[in-house]
Structure formats: structure tokens, C-alpha cells
Structure 1
């Protein structure tokens, strides 16, 4: 309405782009032309056309993340600078797979405008809950969670509970079950309710209930889901998606580790939750949401997660958001790239919080980029496929590649010994820490740097040093 309110306004259109290659600008210009609410203008550049935009399809988010990192490693040989690379995604929760892939390859990274996945407050809260479930004597974790989400147990009440713990020489968790606590009636009721909930979750863990089932139960019963849904803000939606992605992390761990336990999972992520982010890094890959990419530019950009329901976001598809704003966001992300642009999407994703997978269609935005500007990947330089230890559950008839055991089984498992040095195609060099089981059920615990991983040897390709 600005032009209507000020009819004598003189409009200057800034149509020349000095940053990006010709192919990138033509792709972005054609994409944004699908928006109806915009000032008509034609973006152009006098820069060379450059490379075509690379479109790459993967089966899963794990494969997508490792495929991106594989390409970064290849291109790094020519640039010698990780700071030339940026990876964009629609929502914060998508960073987990990419972060894990970067760490497994020893590539430094930082998240612009946000926190690393395991540094996010809601993730730390849920990990603290799990710590108490595994070890009820962990009073530090208990103090973090007893009023998170808020349940009416304030600081004054907490000090009284801590006093009882000190005077009687018992753990804080044991205090919660004491009679005649000096608390208001309403607060006392909340304390007892919290104690009984935790006691039930502890008993489920002791009964070897599936860890992901305990975590799903926890997110609902502790009130996280209701708390974030009730707030109904974009930040709360992001935080709930992070929790759902945390469940996926545990489900992935269960897929990779037979008879997985909550204790083992917490040990596996302990380094991720305790390591400090290095503030003195000068050369690193940058990760960020597309919203945070405005005003920035990079030589080489990867845009991950270009599926319907991811980008555009499912809320937009359900009519709760602005599709044209999503398209503008895609335009911004594309035009952050100076020379090379890689677009990626997957064919299936795990349903949040379940062992089920659902097929995903490519984002409609991909169809709004002229085909002559796109080079679909056909070589092996950007492909990646992880063969699962066992086929995942599927909510529809997704064809799954069955493992060829003859190709992945070691030639002679009898020669393996503790302390032996091996090479894994994803994790690099490692040392065998322990061996258990026999035959196809024989398992090895292997340390790669500071990370320990468990493998079924019958289904794991290892090279010996």
C-alpha cells in the first residue's frame, strides 16, 4: 500500500546481482517469479554462467548428510578453506545428521545464529531426565529437571528439599519420597506427582523397556509436548521438533546396536554433551537455517532437505503459513551462493518419534527451477548409501535393499583380537576395545578417536592395519 499512500513515489529497482553466477541468478529469478505478491523486476548479472546447479537425491537423511560431507572433502582439495562452504536447512532440527557427519569426518564447523544440536536447552533438559532415570542419585541432573517444564516447584521449595538432603545425608531423589516435607500443599502434590512419574520411568528402564519408548513416554508425561504446543510460537515449534529429532537419534542408535540400553546411549553421546565449542576456530564449515542466511554469501552452498513437508514446511502445506514467504526464503538461500550450488533431498524420512518411515516427494520449488539449469548427479562423487544392520520398519511399501552378507562379512573373524587396529569407511581408524558373542552375533566395541561404537561384525566391513 506504500505506493497508494504516496502516489508520487519514485521507485528504483535494484536488479543487477554482483555476487552469484549467471545460472544461479537465472534459477532464483525463475523461482521467485511464481510469487504473485511482489514488485515486478528481472534480476540479472554480468558474471559468467558458471556451473549448473547440482541436484542430488539420497535415500535417507544419514546418506544425505554423509553425501554432502563427502562432496565438501572432495572440493576442499581445491579450495583448502572450509570457510568457503555453507550448509543451509529449513529448521534447526535438521542440523543433527549434518553435525554428526562432520564430526565423524573430523571437519570443524560452527552453527551461525544458533546452538549445536546437543547444546540446545530442551535437549539438555531431556538428557538430564534420562540421566536420573539411569542414575537416580544424580542430584545435579535432578535439580535441572524438577521444574522443567514449569510445574510449580519454585526456588524456595528446592532450597528446602536440598536442606533435607544435607541434614539427613540422603540423595535428593530419596527426599522427594519423604513424608511431612515442609512444603505448601499444592507444591507437595507436584513433588509427589513428579516423584511417582520418575519412579515409573526408572522401573521401565530396569525392566529393559525399549529406550526410545521410555523417551517418547517421558516427553509426553513430563509435559514437554503440551508445554510447547500450548505456547504455539515458532520458537516452541522448533524446540518440539528438536525433541522429536532427539527421539530419532535414539531410534538410530537402536537400529545400529542390538539390545541397546539407555545407559549405553547416554555414554555414546557423553562426549557430544560435554565438549566445549571452540571459539578460536578460524576455518570451519558454516551451518545455519535459511532464515539466518540473509545478508551472507559463500563460494559454495548446499541446501539440504528439499522435500515437501520439510521445505516448504508442513505447516505451510496445511494452510497455517505463507507459501510465498517460503518461496522467498528459498530465493534468499539460493542467492547466497557465489559459484557453486548443491540442492539435496531424500526419498524417505523417519516419522518423528517412531520406527516407521514415510516416503517424501521432492519440493515443489525444484520444479520451479528451469531444468536446463540443473545437473542431476549421476556419478559416484556425491553418492552415499549406508547399508543398515537390519531393514527399518516401513509405513508404506518402500523398497529396501537387503544386505549382501557375503560382501560385508569379514573374511576370517577368528583372527580378530582386542587392541587390533582397523579402518571403518565412515569413522576412520580405530582400536578394538572388546569382543563379545559368537558367530553372526559377535560384537566389537571400537574406539575412533574419542568416540566408541558397537558393531555386529557379521554386518560390518572393516579393514585391518
Structure 2
């Protein structure tokens, strides 16, 4: 990276998001949020060349809402394994049962959390279906013998996680799971292992033209021509907890810094909505540790208001 790191301080998180959106629109050569026309005029960048990184999920969720409102296509990923959360853990439970019909823990999760069965209903189900037929019964008697990973996962989604029950983030996660499944063909066991190992990385690898919103953890091993680091404030970067390891936080910040190949922006807000109220924020100590010779401040040029036309009457 030969360019200086660009620093921008916003009044609050909304103005920070507005700055990010404005800069991204410039980078891709213009984007109309009503028609979705991404013309890339005189630009060598597409949306998929750009990543916005953040330390905490709260910052990411706030940015996701702003980007959705702007119309800029995004994909959202964080380093928490969402397969451990409802309803996505039903995917791993069903695949575990597919691979091992004796897995009673996975079966119980599917019956209890997936089909909302009570104790009596579960006993009736177990009595009515022999061990090797239970998954087929759960999936509406669909035979998955010989089906590939992608077909199997689609079937599980249709049965347990209908699309109309998912919000925008959930739909992105579904897209990530299906994209990963397609890479593994018939090797369902390796697909399950991969998915449990680093689901969040696969969110970032979907080959669509969209800006990546990623936590610092999720950005490990990835590179982008343009990177924005948002929320560079004390209490967020680094996080403020009793057990915070500052050296580990510094290392994570360095990971984020080194994801940029061409251009790096670091943004912060003077005020940000906290758990109960608006909080005053201060620039992260990590930004202060960057030599000033490597940074430059960015100012927003405000357009002058149009002169009001004189009324004749």
C-alpha cells in the first residue's frame, strides 16, 4: 500500500456511515440507490473490491442498516459461528443425523427446536419410525441417498428454515451456507467439517459484487483493494471489558490494517449510541500509534446551499 492512511472523524455514527457510503459511491464510479445502476464510470473498483471492517457486532449491525437503506449491495459476516444459533444449528443437526442415524442428540434438537414437538409427540415419533428412516420422515419422506451437499442443505432449509422466516442477515447466512455446500459436491462430511470450522470466512468469499462488512476476526486471511476500518474509538477498538487483553486487541487492529492492498480509511465518531444513551467517544489509542507521516486527515467538502430564488409576488 503506497497511499497514506486516510483518517476521518464524524460527529456521530450516522454521519460516519454517510461518509463511508459517499466514499464507496465515488470509488465505484456512481451508484443510484433506486435503480441499482452501478455504472463503474472511470473506475477500476467494483463493490466486491471494498470491505468495511469493525471490532464489534454492534457497530456492524448499525452499518448494515445504513447500507441497506442506501441501496449499496452488502454481505455481512462476523466471526461468531452462527451455526450454533437458532435456527441455523438445525442445519448441522440434520447433517449430523444424515451421517449418523444413531445421533440422538441431533435428533432430539430437530424434534424439539425444529418441529416444536413435546415429550409425548417425540415418543410417538420414535416409536413410529425405525432409526434409519427417521431423517427421511423428518424431511417429508424425501430420499437423500446420493444427493450432494447443496441439494441436501436446500432440502433441510425448506423443511426447517423457510425463507420467509429469515431477515436480511439470515438470508445472507443462508446464501453463505449454500455457496459453501456447492463447493463440496457429494462430500457432505467434509462440508460439515468446513462449515463448522470457519463459516464466517465463507460469507466473505461469495462471488457477488457486494461490499463486505466484516469483523476484524472474520477478515483474517482476506485482502481487499480498499478497506475502511469503522468505529476506531476507545471502548470499541479496543473493546472495554474487565478481561480485555490490550496486546491481543492491538494485534487484531493490525490484522485489520493489513487487509488493504491499495487504500485504507480509518473512521471514528465523536458520539455514538450506547446501551442506554448517547456516549462521548475518543479516538482509539491504536490510531495514535500510527506515525503521522503515514496518515492524512480527510475533510468532507460541503456543497453550498442553492441561492433562494427571489419571489416577485
TM-score (norm 1): 0.37
TM-score (norm 2): 0.54
- Of 367, 372, 377 in structure 1, the residue corresponding to residue 288 of structure 2 is 367
| Partner of residue 310, structure 2 | none
8 Å Cα contact 2:49/2:225 also seen in 1: yes
Could you give the per-residue CA deviations for residues 152-199 of structure 1, whole angstroms, max 9, x where no partner exists?
xx9535859xxxxxxxxxxxxxxxxxxxxxxxxxxxxxxxxxxxxxxx
Whole-Å separation in 2 of the counterparts to 1:54 and 1:88 = 15
| Partner of residue 48, structure 2 | 83
Whole-Å separation in 2 of the counterparts to 1:66 and 1:123 = 33
- The answer to whether structure 1 residue 350 and structure 2 residue 273 are counterparts is yes
Quick one: structure 1 residues 90 and 273, their matched pair in 2 at CA, closer, same or farther if it must change by over 3 Å?
Answer: closer
Whole-Å separation in 2 of the counterparts to 1:380 and 1:302 = 19
Could you give the per-residue CA deviations for residues 320-375 of structure 1, whole angstroms, max 9, x where no partner exists?
121011111111110111110000011112221x2x21101110011101112111
Quick one: structure 1 residues 83 and 357, their matched pair in 2 at CA, closer, same or farther if it must change by over 3 Å?
Answer: same
Alignment of 1:101-116 (within 5 A): 101-113=66-78
Superposition RMSD in Å:
3.6
- The answer to whether structure 1 residue 327 and structure 2 residue 250 are counterparts is yes
- The answer to whether structure 1 residue 337 and structure 2 residue 236 are counterparts is no
- Of 115, 118, 124 in structure 2, the residue corresponding to residue 156 of structure 1 is 118
| Partner of residue 236, structure 2 | 310
Q: 1:66, CA displacement in angstroms?
A: 2.1
8 Å Cα contact 1:112/1:292 also seen in 2: yes
Alignment of 1:164-203 (within 5 A): none
- The answer to whether structure 1 residue 292 and structure 2 residue 221 are counterparts is no
TM superposition outliers: structure 1 runs of 4+ over 3 Å: 112-115, 119-124, 157-160, 270-281
8 Å Cα contact 2:79/2:217 also seen in 1: no
Quick one: structure 1 residues 360 and 123, their matched pair in 2 at CA, closer, same or farther if it must change by over 3 Å?
Answer: farther
- The answer to whether structure 1 residue 379 and structure 2 residue 274 are counterparts is no
Q: 1:275, CA displacement in angstroms?
A: 5.6
Could you give the per-residue CA deviations for residues 19-40 of structure 1, whole angstroms, max 9, x where no partner exists?
xx2xxxxxxxxxxxxxxxxxxx
8 Å Cα contact 1:66/1:98 also seen in 2: no
Which consecutive unaligned segments of at least 5 residues does structure 2 have?
30-42, 89-111, 123-165, 180-205, 308-313
